[in-house]
Chains A and B, each alone.
Chain A
């Protein structure tokens, strides 16, 4: 029988009631008395010198409160970068200034030049059109390899070149890898592109700045995945506001997918301007604006080489990647192609030697940063594509080649050659589970049936690993992170036994309000309805690092468990006092404290009441009250893994791909709420199929965004997707966090693109089109063109 409460139960998502009935409280729902509206005038050229800005006509318009330009931000800090990567020669990366408003130069289409504040959004927009900006356009650099070529126009004049860093990992292995590849029995080489994506959360970004002159307090309401991080970055590095005078609230947030992690100029602007005009300032992005101002994702160009011995065992792996940073360094951008990417290049396999080279490049495009998976999809995609290609070249079943090279269950904990130690895993189990669920044995029958309808059927496998639960602070500090990556929670028990948990994690669709409550209720044995989860407000929650990298249950959940354990330790002392027993004899079950071996018991609620009405209470030993805070810093990453199988049909006449089957067998360790986990996998797979088949962010040579609206940027729709077969019964619990959990938010987006591409390549080969590779998205025209190239 499935449980109906607590850990392991598919409790219904309590937050959905307000989301589905239109009673959510999103940032755009917040309207303050005397509020004004900001409109950002953005560059329509990718690269240019600003000769002058004449805002006099705009300033004279009725309803215009004030126009801001870079001049108003003299003495104000730039938007900071949160991670400093050291290059392979031991030098720090090149780090340009990122001004709140463009200073002297614009560097991408969408770069903000000026801001109008007016009484209505329409007036602000009208006035922005009246601003005269004199720009001399400069040649733009868009292509990464061209950007680092001799004589390329420089995005930042004060840097030596457009190369942010040249990173090598593991640098000491470089020559050994070269040698191993040279001497290998077989080398499979693949060049590929990991396509640039726009995150497109349903809710565009919004920021509302407020200032209280009476007590010199600033409040920023913003669409963020991590309000404390925004407070830290904006307060300390941009505006110089101490934390006790700055509150950041991220209320209901309609999806983030990474792009709402980062601190953006618009947040600093509204906070700054609210004080300058002494009125609240609101900015709501249009969808068009989101395309040219939200950080983009992916955008890697890679060459990967896999060397195998005569027995088909992997002996070495070498990858060379160009990673697009865009025009400025977004908050976590430098970490994505390096530490979130290079450390995963071993995948699920025993590969003794790995060398990863990454050149990060500035271009005249929107900044690129973490997007669902962040570095791990890029690693998984190239590895799972090259393994598949190797299997084809060697005439092996792709599942068998993987199985042959998998780390074996008995080899955990396993030290990879790329600095990380996988604590647990069982890749054979997930592969077998996916094979079982997919009915692989009858594929040929299905292929024959497809052929009778004129379609080519193919089958694709990918097996991913990811590192979640970022991360041990001391480790990431060594790697260049400028912040700790712990998480926090306060468990506040009320006098009658109900509980509020204040977590540093942030929910923007993941369902934490349900899942986290299940954990605490389970630990005490009370009804889930007695536990509320509070998040998203620096004034209400302890300092926390927020939600990204599938870290919330593994790190935030662990902090909550630690705080709840402290609460229970104290509650047991109180119970012992009430029952005149020894602390050690107190047991807790189903919300009742009892004395072992007796029939004495006292209810949870009575203990809580005693804590707040301490008439009969050991005041000489413990304080009244029942509230505890814990900060949890993980000992290691967690390592979810899984087998993703994709079945496709290709229409040879048009090149159109239809995904006809998709199976995901994941190992997430222990699972708190199976329904929510399945939902996370569904969403991730939908995004991964979106990347593999539909989505593409394309600039022309002049840096103009060609796919700047939904007329050209193809988002996945329900009708583009099959029914998913999702399983998480293979569980190797994490050994170093109290819940044994690994995280599930990004898995779907990581494992699905290579599975889909492998399936299409398989279909083409079976159909007599020996195509080796097609770059994503596998749009009909790209597939058809590839087929013509081998005809």
Chain B
């Protein structure tokens, strides 16, 4: 790790100001950024920690939705997002206890790892990503692997999830990292079903439109039977071919529908 400056402001405004400098990066739970700095793959001149900003923390249920502060840890979401059980279960299945007690939802979404879990929940829920300057709809937020709609210096403050009638997240773990080799989040709302897939596409998290249409008409695993997923554009690596991931998308979607509650 190279030397860097460190600031820990107490408010979002102070954090925004602190991020103005050259090569400054926001630090939340640090579960990706710190290891990459230790490997000298990332060398910010300054880290601005967001974890002392109390306004960014907490799970806040509201009528029909749940708002989660960006600096809320996975462990807290797992314990407190009881109004959205599928989301709580997703948070409780990320990484290991050490990761869950440091990593945050805002950090995960800002990083947008193509195999991370939270992006699937946000996209399948049609959630709103709220920043210090604006509100971004989930469909506009994710912009490919490790890329998002966030501008330089823009900070996520909270994420608002409309609570579905039924939902489930099915993660198939990559055996080494235990990130999602492929993960599927299915959420059923009064106005239709949304299906989001993580870990599979070279473009990062994505929706599966055919499944959404089929499930909106008939919310049953059998509704998926006739569909097929193209392997084009899917990830192939040591742990699975594109064809294997295409199969997982279908299998996991069916299992998510069966498990949805």
Contact = CB atoms under 8 A, between A and B. Distances in A.
A288 B40 CA distance: 12
Given A653-B251, A654-B251, A781 B241 contact: yes
Nearest to A710: B176
A223 B238 CA distance: 32
Contacts of B1: 122
B259 to A, nearest CB: 13
A711 B176 CA distance: 5
A491 B109 CA distance: 64
B247 interface: yes
A656 to B, nearest CB: 8
B176 A712 contact: yes
Contacts of A653: 247, 251, 255
B175 A780 contact: yes
Interface in B24-74: 39-40
A454 to B, nearest CB: 10
Contacts of A696: 238
A720 to B, nearest CB: 8
A785 B241 contact: yes
Contacts of A129: 40
Interface in A476-496: none
Interface residues of A, number: 25
Contact of B244 (A694, A713, A781): A781
A710 B177 contact: yes
A12 to B, nearest CB: 29
B83 interface: no
Contacts of B130: none
B176 A713 contact: yes
Contacts, number: 49
A707 B237 CA distance: 11
A414 interface: no
Contact of B172 (A126, A654, A698, A715): A654
A424 B251 CA distance: 52
Nearest to A655: B244
Contacts of B144: none
Contacts of A788: 243
A291 to B, nearest CB: 12
Given A654-B251, A785-B241, A779 B177 contact: no
In terms of DSSP, what is the predominant structure of the interface of chain A? loop
B75 interface: no
A50 interface: no
B238 A706 contact: yes
Contacts of B181: 780
A126 B3 CA distance: 11
Contact of A781 (B39, B40, B239): B239
Contacts of B186: none
A694 B176 CA distance: 8
B122 interface: no
Contact of B238 (A654, A656, A698, A715): A698
Nearest to B248: A654
Contacts of B251: 653-654
B239 A711 contact: no
Interface string B242-254: 0110011001000
Interface in A347-378: none
A701 B244 CA distance: 23
A784 interface: yes
Interface in A670-715: 694, 696, 698, 706-707, 710-715
B172 A707 contact: no
A660 B94 CA distance: 25
B240 interface: yes
B209 to A, nearest CB: 22
Contact of A694 (B175, B177, B243): B175
Contact of B239 (A122, A126, A654, A779): A779
B244 A784 contact: yes
A656 B40 CA distance: 35
A712 B238 contact: yes
Contact of B177 (A656, A706, A712, A784): A712
Given A706-B238, A707-B238, A781-B241, A714 B175 contact: yes
A567 to B, nearest CB: 51
Interface in B210-261: 238-241, 243-244, 247-248, 251, 255
A781 B182 CA distance: 12
A743 to B, nearest CB: 31
B175 A779 contact: yes
Contacts of B177: 710-712
Nearest to B236: A781
27 contacts: A122-B1, A126-B2, A288-B39, A653-B251, A654-B172, A655-B244, A694-B176, A696-B238, A698-B238, A707-B238, A710-B176, A710-B177, A711-B176, A711-B177, A712-B176, A712-B238, A712-B239, A713-B176, A714-B175, A714-B176, A780-B240, A780-B244, A781-B241, A781-B244, A785-B243, A785-B244, A788-B243
Interface of A: 122, 126, 129, 288, 653-656, 694, 696, 698, 706-707, 710-715, 779-781, 784-785, 788
Given A653-B255, A694-B175, A712-B177, 4 more contacts: A698-B238, A707-B176, A710-B177, A779-B175
Interface of B: 1-2, 39-40, 172, 175-177, 181, 238-241, 243-244, 247-248, 251, 255
In the complex, the 7 A-B pairs of residues with the closest C-beta atoms, listed nearest first: A714-B176, A781-B240, A714-B175, A653-B251, A781-B244, A711-B177, A712-B176
